[in-house]
Structure 1
Amino acid sequence: MQHTSTVDRPVVPPAPDSRTFARAIGDVRDAWRQRELWGHLGWQDIKQRYRRSVIGPLWITISMGTTALALGLLYSTLLGQELPTFLPYVTVGFIVWNFILGVVTEGTEVFIANEGLIKHLPAPMTVHVLRMVWRQVLFFAHNLVVYIVVLAVFFPALTSEYQMEGDVVTHPGISWSVLLAIPAFLLLVVNAVWVAVVFGIISTRFRDIPPVIHSFINLIFFMTPIVWHVGVLNKFDGDTSWKILIAEFNPLYHFLEIVRAPLLGQVQDWHHWVVVGAFTVVGWALALVALRNYRARVSYWV
């Protein structure tokens, strides 16, 4: 009878589980550390878009300026608003909206558009999101030139107390409170990242999501106080409290208001910051859950 000796075999540790919040947070952290990569790619995107153009990215500013001017002239007449205060209102609202629009529409396709890089470049998934958001920040910076021009033209009207048609409060005018627009925009950028992460992952799995969002985005534009002012609702007869809720239940209104109000020297209720802060916490929680569960599957879905 033969006896076989027992040979000690090395214990192979189990494969680490990639579906952990530590891996999800690490993906965001590693993407931030590679800011030179997505920062350079964002610049290249703009250069590539306006390659062989005579005036280059200035087309962004010209397009924004003409659109804001046309909408401001039209709706100031339709709504009976004073042009020196209403045109800046429309301009700033449209600049912020253009940033939100770019984040949402391009965010739905952020992973689909980067299929080649995702499959061949070993980089965190969030790198592609930060590249897209950085590109939108650069567009926003170009559009701010329009705001500076409008501010220079209507400076006397915006630096003294004024009321817009339908307002029940008097706005103090532009002062040092304009600096609040800086943390407000940074908060907007932080929210843009989680929006692109969540919508990008969902859209990669379900390709019907991008056209659905593109179809409804124009409706959302007209439902958001951009070319119309919330105070206009006070001009209607009867109880206007429920009409104000049309704006209050629209989350984009609060994101707009925290940036727009300080840039125009308007009275700002702090509940806008509370609402945006709540969306920031909930949104990033959803983004981390999405990264935890589906980050590794994106490369197979694209």
Structure 2
Amino acid sequence: MTGYLSSIWRLRHFWMALVRIDLRKRYRGTVIGIGWSLLQPIAMTAVLCLVFSRIFGQSIREFAPYLLTGLTFWGFITAVVMQGCQSFFQGESYIRQHPAPLAIYPLRATLGAGFHFILGFAIASVFVWCVNGFGNLPALVSLVPTFVLLFVIGWSLAVCMGVANVLFQDSQHLIGIVMQMLFYLTPILYPPKMMLSKSPHFALIFNYNPFAMLLELIRKPLLDGELPSLWAIGASSLFALLVVCAAMLALRCFEKRMIFYL
């Protein structure tokens, strides 16, 4: 494991160059460039805040930061999963030319998604500070290990999705459907209290949805100035361990044979 990670680190200039190429290609010829990645969640937040404030009576002052952090988080998860599906096909020419750890190609997708996540989170943080201020700065320190955990989970998910899509190319379409379902099963658009007031059965979904737990690790310190619950920390850590083990197993079983499936 250590040797594998060391070999990835030795190739850091290569995969960092791939990330830069992806970013340049994505925004080449556009007027506002990276601004487009920030405009989408902001515009979505504005529209949904208007709808929810009129229909459900939500306070825009409280709901907008909640929604913006959720959309930023889900944008990262969706990006690593869907781009992870294509990561090995996207790097096929490099894979055929140069033997290198295959995990660098899902890493490429994860770093690109992480770049946009950091930008979006910075905008969300400034918005929260302007609207509510930061009541408990020490609680914000817990975001540092949360981001590390989120990166590890994102990279591992990208590996798993990439391997699955190479072996069975319909996987990306099935995964897209699953991600759409998870979007509505994760408290991104709505506060859990609102749903629990309608039916207590939603507690099962929120308590055993790993993405809901990860989202709590971000929202609690940022929006409420509190440390996340021990349940959220434990569940997120267990989920990270499971997806890391799944990614390691997938690479162990298929890395040497991957070239024959491309």
Q: Which amino acid aligns with 1:194?
A: S
More helix by share: 2
Q: Which amino acid aligns with 2:158?
A: A
2:16 touches 2:108 (CA, 8 Å); kept in 1? yes
**CA displacement at 1:145 relative to structure 2:** 4.0
| Pairwise CA RMSD | 1.8
The 5 A counterparts of 1:47-196 are: 47-155=24-132, 158-159=133-134, 173-196=135-158
1:95 touches 1:144 (CA, 8 Å); kept in 2? yes
**CA displacement at 1:96 relative to structure 2:** 0.7
Q: Distance in 2 between matches of 1:264 and 1:47?
A: 33
Say if 1:223 and 1:234 are closer, same or farther in 2 by CA, change over 3 A.
closer
Q: Which has the larger radius of gyration?
A: 1
2:218 corresponding residue in structure 1:
259
Q: After superposing the two structures, state which structure 1 stretch, 224-233 or 279-288, moved more.
A: 279-288
Partner secondary structure for residue 112 of structure 1: helix
Q: Distance in 1 between matches of 2:78 and 2:255?
A: 24
Q: Percent identity?
A: 27
Q: Which amino acid aligns with 2:162?
A: G
Structure 1 length as normaliser, TM-score?
Answer: 0.81
Q: Which amino acid aligns with 2:205?
A: I
Say if 1:274 and 1:55 are closer, same or farther in 2 by CA, change over 3 A.
same
Report Cα offsets for 1:41-94 as digits up to 9, x if no partner: 112211111112222111111122111221223224333322111110000011
**CA displacement at 1:266 relative to structure 2:** 4.9
**CA displacement at 1:152 relative to structure 2:** 4.3
Q: Distance in 2 between matches of 1:137 and 1:83?
A: 28
4+ residue runs over 4 A deviation: none
Q: For 1:244, which of 194, 203, 210 is the aligned residue?
A: 203
Q: Distance in 2 between matches of 1:74 and 1:149?
A: 23
Q: For 1:275, which of 229, 235, 240 is the aligned residue?
A: 235
1:11 corresponding residue in structure 2:
none
Q: Which amino acid aligns with 1:259?
A: I
Q: Distance in 2 between matches of 1:289 and 1:234?
A: 38
2:137 touches 2:225 (CA, 8 Å); kept in 1? no
1:32 touches 1:127 (CA, 8 Å); kept in 2? no
5+ residue gaps in structure 1?
1-21, 160-172
Alignment pair present for 1:219 and 2:219: no
Q: How many residue pairs get matched? A: 261
Q: Distance in 1 between matches of 2:242 and 2:177?
A: 26
Report Cα offsets for 1:11-51 as digits up to 9, x if no partner: xxxxxxxxxxx6xx643331133222211211221111111
Partner secondary structure for residue 195 of structure 2: helix
Q: Which amino acid aligns with 2:145?
A: P
Q: Which amino acid aligns with 1:73?
A: L
Q: Which amino acid aligns with 1:58?
A: G
Q: Distance in 1 between matches of 2:125 and 2:241?
A: 32
Q: Distance in 2 between matches of 1:280 and 1:217?
A: 18
Q: Which amino acid aligns with 1:261?
A: K
1:69 touches 1:91 (CA, 8 Å); kept in 2? no
1:16 corresponding residue in structure 2:
none
2:160 corresponding residue in structure 1:
198
Report Cα offsets for 1:238-279 as digits up to 9, x if no partner: xx2x32112112121111111222111254312111011111
**CA displacement at 1:201 relative to structure 2:** 0.8
1:46 corresponding residue in structure 2:
23
**CA displacement at 1:103 relative to structure 2:** 0.7
Structure 2 length as normaliser, TM-score?
Answer: 0.92
